């Protein structure tokens, strides 16, 4: 049976380094895994009144339904001001509501933080990890995936060619696949 993997990217920028890294990771998934980017940039900011008053935006419904069909999630995030981008936090909130209908429940996940800098999105990675604990998502613990110096890793086609980095990516994918196969 094919495992469906949602890839949520916290950067909306055209040419996003984070999305390029996510694509490199997606390309390494083995047979039996089908990954797709899931759009989160179109989600209106979460407002509980939408759910309480039965006035749910169609974007919420579409997103929630798509995510319900997914078996696992790859979160790829840049770091903005030592935290996760608002668009990613909003997607978590939209998916965790209304109360009792958490679409994230028991979906295995991996967090990959990406940055041009040396800190490698450490703050965003850990902030996201905190939210996923609350949402009851099992998350790959090791290896921790902090990708720094990203501008030196990607070629003009958005591919990573450094053998050491590709080996590290392979270990991330292996740990993710192992976690997903447990669920």
pLDDT tens-digit map of 121-170: 888 999 999 999 999 999 999 999 998 889 888 999 999 989 999 999 99
The domain of 20 spans 3-181
Number of domains in the chain: 1
What residues pair up with 64 in beta bridges, in sequence order? none
Per residue in 58-100, pLDDT (tens digit) is 999 999 999 999 999 999 999 888 889 999 999 999 999 999 9
Closest to 16 measured CA to CA, from 4, 5, 24? 24
Distance of alpha carbon 7 from alpha carbon 109, whole angstroms: 10
- DSSP three-state, residue 145: strand
Local structure of 138: helix, strand or coil:
coil
Note the pTM of the prediction, 2 decimals.
0.95
Using CA atoms, how far apart are residues 109 and 91, in angstroms rounded to an integer?
15
Q: What is the CATH number of the domain that holds 56?
A: 3.40.50.360
């Amino acid at each position: 049976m094919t495992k469906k993997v949602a890839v949520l990217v916290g950067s909306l920028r055209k040419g996003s380094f984070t999305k390029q890294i996510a694509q490199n990771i997606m390309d390494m998934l083995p047979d039996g895994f089908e990954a797709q980017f899931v759009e989160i940039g179109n989600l209106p900011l979460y407002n509980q009144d939408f759910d309480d008053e039965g006035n749910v935006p169609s974007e919420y419904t579409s997103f929630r339904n798509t995510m319900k069909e997914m078996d696992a999630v790859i979160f790829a995030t840049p770091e903005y001001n030592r935290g996760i981008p608002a668009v990613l936090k909003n997607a978590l909130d939209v998916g965790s509501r209304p109360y009792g209908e958490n679409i994230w429940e028991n979906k295995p996940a991996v967090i990959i933080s990406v940055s041009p800098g040396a800190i490698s999105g450490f703050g965003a990675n850990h902030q996201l990890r905190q939210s996923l604990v609350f949402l009851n998502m099992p998350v790959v613990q090791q290896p921790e995936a902090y990708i720094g110096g990203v501008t030196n890793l990607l070629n003009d086609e958005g591919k990573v060619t450094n053998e050491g980095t590709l080996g590290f990516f392979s270990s991330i994918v292996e740990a993710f696949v192992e976690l997903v196969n447990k669920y």
